[in-house]
Structure 1
């Protein structure tokens, strides 16, 4: 993957971070540390609750477990290094930078397709409730979870191999707080046109396929909800959909804003703000949006806590 590294004079990179002010850096450190701790607690908690409570061993809760795992991993790839860079010089090795970018693209792509799988699961649950257990078989659930990981790995591998073939001859300053594709492309002294087109195709196809799947699922879901006679039933269903769509809108909105544009329109300030949302904030929000508002999960948490007390 690093076969052409000998053609570059860059041994490591310098990340400019989010601010040059020590006061701002300390404030961001405290804020990001709090967000990361909440992210860890929320996602690990969701995984443990679903694992420990047998009543949640259903397809509907199988997907949030993997979403929590991806969010936990996704945040861990970016946040600890960002926290360290807020307190110490912002150096990262050439290899370390590309390893970070590989896992960032891998997990981000996997999350896009996993959100599509979750949308399909909700579609089946609401539009075909009587056939839900038959349609959402164990084999299909495994396929809907394995697929995102496989596609994410392939996309990330192609992306990083293409990026690693570029030359980095002069500046080693990355104008960002982590190793992302756009600022690294802007740093290269090679002709990046073909690489940009390849990355645009990969990112564009990922976003479009997953968005079309999610949109189609929710059009059918909303159509079914509108046919429900019970007002309370409609409100409950709409509330669940709005929360889910809010998370999807924030995640996809920032991804589209950041990646589906040419390199010339790259803006340090705008892209950094957008990146903070989808790398640091959204992994914290997802447990709240998808799971912790669910009454069954709350009940499961109470049951798990009661069992722990009874065992003492």
Structure 2
């Protein structure tokens, strides 16, 4: 379509789950429950880390940042989806769609960086235990988090600004429950070559480099653990990174599902299921993984709850 035939878009239609109208009440209850569990679970992790002096270490500093990011990540998409289900409306304003895309990319990439930083933290703790506190000092930890925020926001800003220059055709329906960058680009009438080039470049860079760092860190961790003579020592060393490794597998497994479902041959239903796993289920499970597999977090949560009950 010629640019002159394009109209100025004022809103988009989020068509995710709209075909299944008879199950709308059940979907609303399900996603509301998952959202509440996600927010409360991650808030408990943040409160436990901040209130317990035993958890004022680099590992739990990064974990509290991950919990905060997960709350924001889920809050970017789920509340709008709940409103649309409840009101039976599927619209999102143009400005709202751009804002949702921006924050979705910020917190999604931030999750990737934090998981990578936590892998480096586990590498230093296991491979260089005597120098752990010297290497992972508060200044370095704060710097790693600040750099991660800067890169995440810069990446999202670049993509969002490039979308703002596009004009859109009369078909404004997005086959998902949130504004996903790749699907929004398919609705554009103007040339999106630059957008797609940057998507491939930045996604490859921000995806491949952190993932390579995680693989490299864990290869050294496994090599170091295998050199430990006692079985009990190997178990203790591996247990210190078991929770993080579970989160890595969950995060990258669902991320891969979203990437594969974005293929044109994939159905919109498969796309939405993968997106739900990535945006809702993963942030909800992270607190359970760390609280169930981590004795320090479990004890801190118990002390926090006992303190609250004692005050009451």
- TM-score relative to the length of structure 1: 0.91
Q: CA deviation at 1:291?
A: 4.3
Contact 1:47–1:65 (8 Å) recurs in 2: yes
- TM-score relative to the length of structure 2: 0.91
Q: 1:62 to 1:23 in 2, by over 3 A?
A: same
Partner of 1:25: 24
* Distance in 1 separating the partners of 2:239 and 2:296: 15
Partner of 1:177: 177
Partner of 1:63: 62
Contact 2:10–2:94 (8 Å) recurs in 1: yes
Contact 1:203–1:260 (8 Å) recurs in 2: no
Q: CA RMSD in A?
A: 2.1
| Structure 2: gaps spanning 5 or more residues | none
Partner of 1:228: 228
Q: 1:253 to 1:67 in 2, by over 3 A?
A: same
Q: CA deviation at 1:263?
A: 6.5
Q: 1:257 to 1:190 in 2, by over 3 A?
A: farther
Q: CA deviation at 1:231?
A: 2.2
* Distance in 1 separating the partners of 2:197 and 2:77: 25
Partner of 1:46: 45
* Distance in 2 separating the partners of 1:19 and 1:239: 44
* 1:76-155 matches, cutoff 5 A: 76-88=75-87, 89-155=89-155
* 1:223-262 matches, cutoff 5 A: 223-239=223-239, 241-259=241-259
Q: CA deviation at 1:215?
A: 0.6
Which segment drifts farther, 134-143 or 259-268? 259-268
Deviations 1:14-42 (A, max 9, x none): 11012422232222211111111110111
* Distance in 1 separating the partners of 2:136 and 2:285: 27
- Structure 1 consecutive aligned stretches of length 4 or more whose deviation exceeds 6 Å: 260-263
Q: CA deviation at 1:253?
A: 3.1
| Structure 1: gaps spanning 5 or more residues | none
In the alignment, does 2:156 pair up with 1:156?
yes
Q: 1:308 to 1:87 in 2, by over 3 A?
A: closer
Q: CA deviation at 1:151?
A: 0.4
Secondary structure of the structure 2 residue equivalent to 1:187: coil
Q: 1:193 to 1:265 in 2, by over 3 A?
A: farther
Q: CA deviation at 1:247?
A: 2.3
Contact 1:16–1:175 (8 Å) recurs in 2: yes
* Distance in 2 separating the partners of 1:117 and 1:141: 9
Q: CA deviation at 1:9?
A: 2.3
* Distance in 1 separating the partners of 2:241 and 2:105: 27
